[in-house]
C-alpha cells in the first residue's frame, strides 16, 4: 500500500469517519471575505484574530506540504429520551452531546499522528481542532470531505453536516484529493428557515445574529432573540434540521451520550452551584461558556416553555440572586408567565437594591406590560 492508503486505513481503524488530503497552499481566496466580516462586524469574536495565519498554513508549520483533514460524524437524534419528570427540560444541541468534541477530535488526531510516525520517518505536523488558526471548513472542502453549504457548514452525502472537523498540517508529500462534485444547487431551505436571517447565502453569515452565538454571548440577550431560542440553552440547529442532506441520517456515536445532559431539567439546572455544574456538565462542549450564561438561557427557556410552575423559582432569583443579569432576565420571564402583577410582586420589584440598568429596563418594561406606573 502507498503511504496515503496506509493513513486512510489507520484513520478508519481509530474511528475517523472521513479523511481527505489537500496541499498546504495558501487559502488566498478567503482573505477578502474574512476581512469584510471584520469590517462589517459580522464575526462572533471567537475566531482566530490573525487573518494571515488563517489563510497561510506555512505560518503554522514552516515545512507544511500536505494538510490531512478529518471528520468524525455524530448523531443528531437521541437513541434514548430522558425520563419524564415534574420539570420541563431544556436542550443542548447535538454538537454538545457526549464528550466535548475538542477532546474527541484531539484524541483522534493524536492517535493518527502517532500511527503516521510509525509509518514514515522525519514526520513533522501540527494538529488543529476548531480553535486553531486555519478555517476548518475551507480545509475540509478542499480536501474532499464535503462542500460548504449555504449555512456555512461542511456537508457530505454520507454524514450530512453532522461532522466534527479537524486537521493535521504535515510535511508529507501526498497526492491531494479533489473537492466533491455535489452541492446545495437551488435549495435555500436553511436560508428560509433561519429565524434571524443571519445566513447571507454564500456560505457566510452574520455570526452575531446566529442563535447559537446568542446562547453563548455575555450580558443580556437582546429581546429580539429571546423567544426565538425556544427551550435551547446552548446552540442552534435549525439550519441543519431543515437540510435535505441530513434527512434519514443515522450517524454513529462520536462518544457516549447521557440524555439527562443533552436535555437537562431547567429548574434543577438553575439550582446548580459552580462546583455541581462543573462536575455534572464539565465534560460537554457547551460547558465552556460557563454556568451563568447557560443559566440565563434556562431562565428564558422557562418562559418559552410556558412553565408557570417556575414562577416561585423566578421570584427567588429576583429576591436572592447576586447575578444582575439573572435578576433582569427573571423579571422578563415573569412578565411572560404571570397573569397579573399583584401588589406584592410590584413591591418585590421596587425593593431590588442597587438595580443595574438592565434590571431597571426590564422592570420598566414589566410595569408597562401590566399598565403600572413606574
Q: Which CATH number characterizes residue 42's domain?
A: 3.40.109
| Catalytic-role residue among 25, 107, 130, 358 | 130
Element at 116 (helix H, strand E) = helix 101-119
Q: Count Cα atoms within 13 angstroms, Cβ side, for 225.
A: 23
Mean predicted confidence (pLDDT) in 50-73: 98
Query: Is residue 297 domain-shared with residue 249, that is, in the same domain?
Result: yes
| Domain-located, residue 91 | no
pLDDT higher than threshold 80 for residue 307: yes
Query: Is residue 139 domain-shared with residue 275, that is, in the same domain?
Result: no
Query: Is residue 235 domain-shared with residue 276, that is, in the same domain?
Result: yes
Q: Residue 131 has what pLDDT?
A: 79
pLDDT higher than threshold 90 for residue 130: no
CA distance 271 to 264: 12
Query: Is residue 114 domain-shared with residue 224, that is, in the same domain?
Result: no
Query: Is residue 166 domain-shared with residue 238, that is, in the same domain?
Result: no
CA distance 44 to 37: 10
For residue 46, name the pLDDT band (cuts at 50, 70, 90).
confident
Last residue of a domain, one of 170, 203, 222: 170
pLDDT higher than threshold 90 for residue 37: yes
Mean predicted confidence (pLDDT) in 107-131: 96
pLDDT higher than threshold 90 for residue 45: no
Q: Work out the number of other CB atoms within 10 angstroms of the CB of residue 44.
A: 15
Q: Residue 185 has what pLDDT?
A: 98
Q: Work out the number of other CB atoms within 10 angstroms of the CB of residue 118.
A: 9
Q: Quote the cell numbers at residue 27.
A: 487559502
pLDDT higher than threshold 80 for residue 108: yes
| Domain-located, residue 241 | yes
Q: Residue 338 has what pLDDT?
A: 97
In the annotation, is 122 catalytic? no
pLDDT higher than threshold 80 for residue 374: no
| Domain-located, residue 80 | no
pLDDT higher than threshold 90 for residue 31: yes
What is the per-residue pLDDT across 171-220, written as a single tens digit (0 to 9) for each?
999 999 999 999 999 999 999 999 999 999 999 999 999 999 999 999 99
Q: How many domains does the chain have?
A: 2
| Domain-located, residue 93 | no
Query: Is residue 225 domain-shared with residue 111, that is, in the same domain?
Result: no
Element at 232 (helix H, strand E) = strand 232-234
Mean pLDDT computed over every residue of the chain: 97
| Domain-located, residue 177 | no
The predicted model scores a pTM of 0.95
Q: Count Cα atoms within 13 angstroms, Cβ side, for 80.
A: 9
Mean predicted confidence (pLDDT) in 233-257: 97
Domain span holding position 291: 189-369
Query: Is residue 207 domain-shared with residue 164, that is, in the same domain?
Result: no
**Dihedral, 8, 13, 19, 23 alpha carbons, nearest 10:** -50
| Domain-located, residue 69 | yes
**Dihedral, 275, 277, 279, 285 alpha carbons, nearest 10:** -140
For the ranges 126-135, 268-277, 349-358, which has the lowest average pLDDT? 126-135
Q: Quote the cell numbers at residue 115.
A: 500511527
Query: Is residue 130 domain-shared with residue 256, that is, in the same domain?
Result: no
For residue 373, name the pLDDT band (cuts at 50, 70, 90).
confident
For the ranges 10-19, 123-132, 312-321, which has the lowest average pLDDT? 123-132
| Domain-located, residue 83 | no
Amino acid at each position: 500500500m502507498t503511504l496515503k492508503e496506509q493513513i486512510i486505513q489507520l484513520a478508519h481503524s481509530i474511528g475517523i469517519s472521513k479523511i481527505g488530503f489537500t496541499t498546504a497552499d495558501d487559502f488566498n481566496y478567503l482573505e477578502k471575505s474574512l476581512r469584510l466580516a471584520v469590517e462589517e462586524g459580522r464575526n462572533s469574536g471567537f475566531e482566530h484574530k490573525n487573518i494571515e495565519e488563517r489563510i497561510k498554513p506555512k505560518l503554522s508549520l514552516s515545512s507544511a506540504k500536505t494538510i490531512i483533514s478529518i471528520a468524525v460524524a455524530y448523531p443528531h437524534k437521541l437513541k434514548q429520551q430522558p425520563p419524564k419528570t415534574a420539570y420541563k427540560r431544556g436542550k443542548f444541541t447535538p454538537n454538545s452531546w457526549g464528550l466535548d468534541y475538542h477532546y474527541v477530535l484531539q484524541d483522534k488526531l493524536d492517535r493518527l499522528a502517532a500511527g503516521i510516525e510509525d509509518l514514515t520517518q522525519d514526520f513533522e505536523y501540527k494538529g488543529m481542532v476548531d480553535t486553531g488558526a486555519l478555517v476548518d471548513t475551507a480545509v475540509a472542502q478542499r480536501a474532499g470531505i464535503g462542500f460548504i453549504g449555504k449555512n456555512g457548514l461542511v456537508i457530505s452525502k454520507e454524514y450530512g453536516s453532522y461532522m466534527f472537523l479537524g486537521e493535521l498540517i504535515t510535511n508529507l508529500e501526498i497526492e491531494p484529493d479533489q473537492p466533491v462534485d455535489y452541492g446545495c444547487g437551488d435549495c435555500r431551505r436553511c436560508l428560509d428557515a433561519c429565524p434571524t436571517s443571519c445566513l447571507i447565502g454564500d456560505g457566510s453569515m452574520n455570526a452575531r445574529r446566529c442563535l447559537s452565538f446568542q446562547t453563548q454571548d455575555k450580558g443580556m440577550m437582546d429581546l429580539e432573540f429571546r423567544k426565538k431560542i425556544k427551550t435551547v440553552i446552548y446552540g442552534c440547529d435549525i439550519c441543519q434540521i431543515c437540510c435535505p442532506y441530513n434527512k434519514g441520517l443515522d450517524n454513529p456515536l462520536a462518544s457516549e451520550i447521557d440524555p439527562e445532559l443533552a436535555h437537562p431539567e431547567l429548574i434543577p439546572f438553575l439550582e446548580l452551584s459552580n462546583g455541581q455544574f462543573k462536575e455534572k456538565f464539565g465534560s460537554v462542549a457547551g460547558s465552556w461558556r460557563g454556568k451563568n450564561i447557560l443559566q440565563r438561557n434556562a431562565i428564558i427557556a422557562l418562559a418559552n416553555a410556558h412553565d408557570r410552575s417556575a414562577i416561585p423559582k423566578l421570584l427567588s432569583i429576583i429576591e436572592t440572586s447576586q447575578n444582575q443579569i439573572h435578576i433582569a432576565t427573571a423579571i422578563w420571564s415573569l412578565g411572560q408567565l404571570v397573569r397579573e402583577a399583584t401588589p406584592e410582586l410590584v413591591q418585590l420589584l421596587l425593593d431590588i437594591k442597587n438595580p443595574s440598568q438592565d434590571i431597571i429596563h426590564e422592570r420598566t418594561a414589566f410595569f408597562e406590560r401590566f399598565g403600572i406606573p413606574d
